[in-house]
Amino acid sequence: MRYELYYWPGIQGRGEFVRLALEEAGADYLDVARMPEKDGMGVPALMRFLQNPEAKRAPYAPPFLKAGDLVIAQTANILFFLGPRLSLVPEDEASRLWAHQLQLTVMDFIKEAHDTHHPIASSLYYEDQKPEALRCAHDFVTQRLPKYLGYFERLLARNGGQWLVGAALSYADLSMFQVMAGLDYAFPNALAKHRPAHPGLTSLQRRVAERPRLAAYLASPRRLAFSEKGIFRHYPELDAS
């Protein structure tokens, strides 16, 4: 099956969680909105799905995945669908629900990381909500960040310290890698401060990055850079001092 991923070009964003799963599995996929418009791809191809007045099951927003006749949106939902097909989750229902539960908690976490720079409205510029962002980010780096990291660190330890779900790598581990990489970029001081208390997550981040397919992907032009247009943005004034 050739999958088609649709996500805004130019940023990692939520689409990156899907890319990491597809890349780790060596799946056959097209990153449609990053392909040439002259070939019928690009952002216009993405917009056709969002704006198709006859689409009975239209996405609210990217990312979405086309898999045969199915068009699936919501990052965690896409990974729930892909997990067993890419052998990135154990097959039993309990483990699939558990991996999904972790992914949903990751999505909550990154929404809070995003909202540090956009606490008032996504439609406004960061510069137009900077005082609010400073307050929000202070709470995030001092309260929310250690609370979330502590939760994932404990679960990782209780599962043996290697992987979050079962006895092998799952998409939850890939997502945790992405969160740690994003925090490294956006909040280097805060993460440096919290790392000593989270050795398991630090080790997980390294082990995921060293997997052959992931390492090749991360070194390739397919891996977009973090930037001040994505979820994780490095505004030094929002980081811990």
Contact 137, 117 (CB under 8 A): yes
Whole-number Å distance between alpha carbons of 18 and 166:
20
Residues shown for the chain: 241
Alpha carbon of 136 to those of 7, 40, 57, 155, 161: distances in Å? 27, 42, 35, 27, 32
Minimum distance from residue 232 beta carbon to a copy of itself (Å): 19
The answer to whether residue 124 forms part of the interface with a copy of itself (CB under 8 A) is: yes
Residues 125 to 154 in contact with a copy of itself, rule: CB under 8 A = 129, 132, 135-136, 139, 143, 148, 151, 154
Using the minimum distance from each CB to a copy of itself, give the nearer residue, 35 or 155: 155
**Which residue blocks in 5-144 are alpha helix, DSSP H?**
15-24, 42-51, 75-85, 93-115, 130-139
**Which amino acid, one-letter code, is at 200?**
G
Residues 49 to 108 in contact with a copy of itself, rule: CB under 8 A = 54-60, 70, 72-74, 76-77, 80-81, 94, 97-98, 100-101, 104-105, 108
Structure tokens at 213: 């397919």
Q: Which DSSP letter does residue 240 get?
A: -
Minimum distance from residue 51 beta carbon to a copy of itself (Å): 11
Structure tokens at 109: 């976490």
Minimum distance from residue 219 beta carbon to a copy of itself (Å): 33
Minimum distance from residue 24 beta carbon to a copy of itself (Å): 22
Helix axes 145-158, 199-209, angle to 10 degrees: 80
Using the minimum distance from each CB to a copy of itself, give the nearer residue, 154 or 213: 154
Whole-number Å distance between alpha carbons of 18 and 77:
10
Minimum distance from residue 119 beta carbon to a copy of itself (Å): 5
The answer to whether residue 27 forms part of the interface with a copy of itself (CB under 8 A) is: no
The answer to whether residue 158 forms part of the interface with a copy of itself (CB under 8 A) is: yes
Contact 165, 172 (CB under 8 A): yes
The answer to whether residue 192 forms part of the interface with a copy of itself (CB under 8 A) is: no
Whole-number Å distance between alpha carbons of 124 and 40:
31
Minimum distance from residue 96 beta carbon to a copy of itself (Å): 10
Dihedral, 65, 66, 72, 77 alpha carbons, nearest 10: -40
Minimum distance from residue 213 beta carbon to a copy of itself (Å): 26
Using the minimum distance from each CB to a copy of itself, give the nearer residue, 37 or 151: 151
Residues that bind a copy of itself (CB under 8 A): 54-60, 70, 72-74, 76-77, 80-81, 94, 97-98, 100-101, 104-105, 108, 111, 115, 119-121, 123-124, 129, 132, 135-136, 139, 143, 148, 151, 154-155, 158-159
